[in-house]
């Protein structure tokens, strides 16, 4: 028997999806389309940030901690 997966978006996400659908159907100019896409992307990021509860400072710390360090011949790669 096949299992079913259901998903109910938050009110913010449902509103974003509705605006996204309307914007995709419209034939705006390229610069207007770019502005719209950036606004939608920022809104999606805002919704996701609010959902997770992380602050931008905390996300910056996580990003800094998970990036690989720079290596050069002058920096030893061996501990001690």
Q: Provide the token pair at 2.
A: 């096949």
pLDDT value at position 80? 54
Q: What is the pLDDT of residue 1?
A: 58
- Does a structural domain hold residue 22? no
* pLDDT of 25 over the 80 cut: no
Assess if residue 43 is contained within a domain.
Answer: yes
The whole domain housing 34 covers 28-63
Asked if 20 contacts 40 with a C-beta cutoff of 8 angstroms, the reply is: yes
Under a CB-based contact definition with an 8 Å cutoff, are residues 32 and 8 in contact?
no
pLDDT in tens, 35-63: 888 888 888 888 888 888 888 888 888 88
- Distance, in Å, from the CA atom of 24 to the CA atom of 37, rounded to the nearest integer, reads 9
The number of distinct structural domains making up the chain is: 1
Note whether residue 53 is domain-resident: yes
17, part of any domain: no
DSSP state of 19: H
- In whole angstroms, give the CA distance from residue 63 to residue 5: 32
8 pLDDT tier (thresholds 50, 70, 90):
confident
Q: What pLDDT shows up at residue 10? A: 80
In a domain, 78, yes or no: no
Cα 31 to chain center, whole Å? 22
């Amino acid at each position: 028997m096949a299992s079913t997966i259901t998903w109910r978006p938050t009110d913010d996400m449902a509103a974003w999806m509705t605006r996204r659908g309307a914007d995709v159907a419209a034939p705006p100019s390229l610069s207007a389309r770019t502005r719209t896409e950036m606004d939608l992307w920022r809104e999606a990021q805002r919704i996701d940030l609010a959902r997770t509860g992380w602050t931008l400072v905390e996300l910056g710390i996580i990003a800094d901690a998970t990036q690989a360090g720079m290596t050069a011949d002058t920096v030893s790669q061996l501990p001690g």
